[in-house]
Structure 1
Amino acid sequence: MTVIQPLASHQRARWPRSLVALVIARAVNRLGSFAMAFMAVALVEVHGASLATAGAVVTAFGAATIPSRLLGGWMADTVGRRPTIVAGLVACAAAQLVIAASPGIGGALVGATLLGLAYEIYEPASQALIAESVEVERRPQAYGLYGAAMAVAGVAAGALAALVGGVDLRLLFVADAVTCLCAAGLVLALVRDTGGRVAGPQRRGRSPWRDRRLLIMLALGTGFATAWILSTIALPLTVSARGHDAAATGWLLVVAALVTVAGQRLLRGAAARPFTLIRAGLVLMAVGFAVVAYAAPLPLLAVGSGIVALGEVLLLGPSIALVAGLATDASRAGYLAAYGTCWGIAQTIGPVLATGLLSHAVPTVWLTGTGLCLVLAAVTAPVARWMFTEVCR
C-alpha cells in the first residue's frame, strides 16, 4: 500500500480541474433530483393512483437501481469514465421526460423503471474518476468535497421544488431532466477521462464478488445505508408529530448541510486512519438518532440532525476511499459499482421497514437506527484487524 505522505504537503494543494468540474456538474444535477421525492405524490394527485400502487411504482424504481449500478461499473471500466457519466445523465433525462409525459399510471411505471435502470449508471464512473484524479491520501477529502456539494445543492433543490411543484408536479420531472442535460454538457466540456477502455489481460482482473474484503464492506455499507434511509423517511413525519410545520424539516436539512460543509476539515489525513473515522461516524450517527427519537423543541431536533450529519461526513468519504483502494485501475469502477449496490438494497427494503416501525411509535424507527449503527461500529474493529490490515497501513 502507498505510504501516506505528510499532511502538510497537501494542505494547500489545489484540486484538479476535472474534479472541480465533476463536483459542479453533480451539484447542478442534484438541484433537480427533488423530483424523486415527489414521485408517489405525483402518481396519487395527477394520475389518481392508490397509495399501494404508488408505493409499488417507487419500489420498482428502487429495485431497478441495483442493476443500474452494475451496468455503470461495467461501462466505466469498458468504454471510459466520461462517456459513461454522460450516457447515464442523458438516459436519466429521457426517463424523466417519459414520466412527465405519461398519460396514465402504466406509462409512469414504465418511466420509473427506466429511470431506475439509468439512475445509477454515472455513479461508479464518477467515483472512479475522483479516485484517479487525486493522490491516494487525498481521496477521503475528495469524496467528502463531492458529498458536501451534493448536500448544499440538495437544500437549494428543496426551494426549487416548492417553486416548481406549486405550478404542476409534472414540471418537477421536466426540471430534473433539464439539470441532467446541463450536467452532461458540463462533463463533456470540462472533465478529462482518467481510465476505462482497458484491453487485453489487464481487463480480466479479480471480480469484486470474489473479493471477501469488498463483500465485507458491502455488508457494512448496506447496514449504514438502511439506517440512513430509515432516517430520511422518518424525519418529516417526526417533525410533524412534534407539532412543527413542514418548513421546519427544511431548516433541519439546512443545518445538516452546513455541518457537512464545516466537517470536511476532519477528513484531513483520513487515509491514514479510515476505520477510526468510520467507527466514530457510526457512533455519532447513533447518538444523533437517539437525540431525534425523543427531541421535541426544534433546536434540539437541529442538534440531533447536526450530529447525524457529522457522523455521515466521517463515514462516507473514508468508506468509498477504502473501496477505491482495493481495486486496480482496470477494475475500480466495477468494485465501486458492487459496493454501491448497498444503496439500491437499502432503497428497496428501507421504506417497508420504516413504515412498519412508524406504525408502532415514532421513536421506534430512530432507536432501530441507533441500534443498527452501534452494532456496525462494534463489528468494524474486528473487521479492520481481520480483513484490512494492508489497507490501514
Structure 2
Amino acid sequence: MRLPTGQRLPRTVWLLIAARAINRLGAFSLSFLTVLITTRFGASVATARLISAAFGLATIPSRLAGGRLSDRIGRRRTIVFGLVGCAVAQVGIAAADSLAVAAGFAVLLGLVFELYEPPSQAMIADAVGTTDRVRAYSLMNAALAAAGMGAGLLAASLGRWDLRWLFVADATTCLICALAVRVALPADLPAAHRLSEETAEVAPWRDRALMVMLASGTLFALIYLQIMIMLPLSLGQRGLQPADAGLLLTASALTIVAGQPLLRWKLVSALPTAAGFTSGYALLTLGLAGYAVAHTLGFFLAATVVWSLGDLLLMGRAYALVAALAPPAGTGRYMAAYGTSWGIAGIAAPLAGTQLLQHAGVTTLWITMATACLALSAIQPAIGRIVSARTSQPASTEYGAAPVSA
C-alpha cells in the first residue's frame, strides 16, 4: 500500500538540513591541507599527499564508529561529539608549530570527520515515513550542494589572507552546527544509552542485500569522484581553462537545487525504486558520454546538467533504500556500512583516474565511466530481486514492487 505523498517534512529534518548546510559552508579547508603543509612547514608534495591520504584512510573507521555510537549512545550525542572533535582538530592544524603536530591533528580530523554522517542519516530515517525519505535525503544533498557554492567564495576570500584562517573558519562552523544540534534537535531516548540485545545482534556486514548495495554504491562513488578529480585535467587537455571546472560544478549544484521540485512530480514520484535507479544511471551515462566528445565549454555545460539530473534521482533513493533495509535498532550502523563506499572510492579514484587519463586519454576516461554507469543501470532489476528476497517486510519489498515516493 502506498502512503500519501507531498506531506510537510518534520521540523527535525529541516533543522538537520540547516545545521549540515552551515557545517558544509565552512568545509572548504581540506582542499588546502596539502598547500598549508607544503608552504608553512616546507614539506615536499609527496609528504603532503601522504598526510592527506592518512586523513582519508582515517575517515573509514570514523564512519563505522559513527554508526555504532549512533545506535549505542544516541544520535544527537554522536553528532555533537563528532562536530566538536572536528573543531578541535581544525584549530590544532591551524595552530600547529611543527609538521608532526599538524600531521597528528590531520589524522585526528579524519577519525572524527565522518562521525556526523550515520547519525544524521539515521535521524532523518527516524523522523519521516518510507514514502518521504527520498525527498528528505535529496533535500539534504541539495543543501550541501548549495552550501558548497558559498564555501568556494569564502575560501577565495580567506585563503588570500592566511590559509590557517580557513581551518579556523571551518572549526567555527562546526561549533555553530554542534550548538544548533544540541539546542534544537530532540534529546536522545533513554533506551539509546545502552547497547540493547536487539542492537547487539545487528550485523550489517552479513546482510547480503546491503552488501550488494555497498558494491554498487562503491562503483557509483568511484565514478562520482572521477568527476570531481578529473574534470579540471580533462578541460586542460581539451584546450580549455582547468579553472572552468568550478563553473561546471557550480552549474551542477544549481541543477540539483533547482531540480528538487521535480521529485514531487507525479511522473517522477510514481517511479518504482528500481526504475528510479535505472533512470538516474542512464542520465549519468549520457552526461559522461557527453564529456567524452565535448570540446567546448558549452558542450561540457550541457553534459553537466544531464548527469546532475541523474544525480538528483539517485542520491536520495540510495539512502532511503538502505534505511528501509535496516532494522529499527541498527539504522546508524547500516548507514555507516553503506557510507564506507565513499571512503573506499576516495582511495581508489585518484589512482584509477590519473592512470586512465595518462595512458588512454580524455575520451577513454569518460567512455569508461559512462560504460560503468550503463552497467549499473542494467543490473538494477537484479539488485531489486536480491533486496526483495532479503526480507518480507514492506519497507524492503518496495524496491522491486511498490514505489518509494519522493
Partner of 1:179: 173
Gaps in structure 2 of 5+ consecutive residues: 390-396, 402-406
For the Cα contact (< 8 Å) 1:129–1:194, is it kept in 2? no
For the Cα contact (< 8 Å) 1:280–1:311, is it kept in 2? yes
Q: Percent identity?
A: 44
Q: CA deviation at 1:51?
A: 2.1
Partner of 2:220: 224
The answer to whether residue 377 in structure 2 is matched with residue 380 in structure 1 is no
Partner of 2:277: 278
**Structure 1 residues 213 and 53, CA gap change in structure 2 (3 angstroms):** same
Work out the CA distance in 1 between the residues paired with 2:270 and 2:86.
Answer: 33
Work out the CA distance in 2 between the residues paired with 1:149 and 1:53.
Answer: 34
Partner of 1:19: 13
Partner of 1:363: 363
Q: More displaced, 112-121 or 355-364?
A: 355-364
Q: More displaced, 258-267 or 22-31?
A: 258-267
Work out the CA distance in 1 between the residues paired with 2:242 and 2:98.
Answer: 29
1:99 partner amino acid: I
1:282 partner amino acid: Y
Work out the CA distance in 1 between the residues paired with 2:19 and 2:108.
Answer: 22
Q: CA deviation at 1:330?
A: 0.9
Q: CA deviation at 1:326?
A: 0.8
Give SS of 1:341's match.
helix
Q: More displaced, 164-173 or 19-28?
A: 164-173
TM-score (norm 1): 0.93
The answer to whether residue 91 in structure 2 is matched with residue 97 in structure 1 is yes
Work out the CA distance in 2 between the residues paired with 1:373 and 1:231.
Answer: 13
1:37 equivalent among 13, 24, 31: 31
Work out the CA distance in 1 between the residues paired with 2:271 and 2:285.
Answer: 24
Give SS of 1:322's match.
helix
For the Cα contact (< 8 Å) 2:232–2:243, is it kept in 1? no
Work out the CA distance in 2 between the residues paired with 1:79 and 1:194.
Answer: 8
Partner of 2:394: none
For the Cα contact (< 8 Å) 2:71–2:333, is it kept in 1? yes
Work out the CA distance in 2 between the residues paired with 1:260 and 1:322.
Answer: 20
Gaps in structure 1 of 5+ consecutive residues: none
Work out the CA distance in 1 between the residues paired with 2:254 and 2:172.
Answer: 27
Q: CA deviation at 1:276?
A: 1.1
Give SS of 1:231's match.
helix
Q: CA deviation at 1:164?
A: 0.7
For the Cα contact (< 8 Å) 1:260–1:310, is it kept in 2? yes
Work out the CA distance in 2 between the residues paired with 1:294 and 1:170.
Answer: 40
Q: More displaced, 183-192 or 376-385?
A: 376-385
**Structure 1 residues 193 and 342, CA gap change in structure 2 (3 angstroms):** farther
**Structure 1 residues 275 and 100, CA gap change in structure 2 (3 angstroms):** same
The answer to whether residue 117 in structure 2 is matched with residue 123 in structure 1 is yes
Q: More displaced, 327-336 or 143-152?
A: 327-336
Partner of 1:249: 245
**Structure 1 residues 260 and 132, CA gap change in structure 2 (3 angstroms):** same
Q: CA deviation at 1:199?
A: 5.0
For the Cα contact (< 8 Å) 1:277–1:315, is it kept in 2? yes
Partner of 1:295: 294
1:179 partner amino acid: T
Pairs within 5 Å for 1:86-235: 86-193=80-187, 196-197=192-193, 200-235=196-231
- Number of aligned positions between the proteins: 387
**Structure 1 residues 109 and 293, CA gap change in structure 2 (3 angstroms):** farther
Q: Could you list the runs of 4 or more consecutive aligned residues of structure 1 that deviate by over 6 angstroms after TM superposition?
A: none
1:287 partner amino acid: L
Give SS of 2:329's match.
coil
Q: CA deviation at 1:47?
A: 2.3
For the Cα contact (< 8 Å) 2:18–2:143, is it kept in 1? yes
Q: More displaced, 256-265 or 66-75?
A: 256-265
Q: CA deviation at 1:272?
A: 6.0
For the Cα contact (< 8 Å) 2:209–2:386, is it kept in 1? no
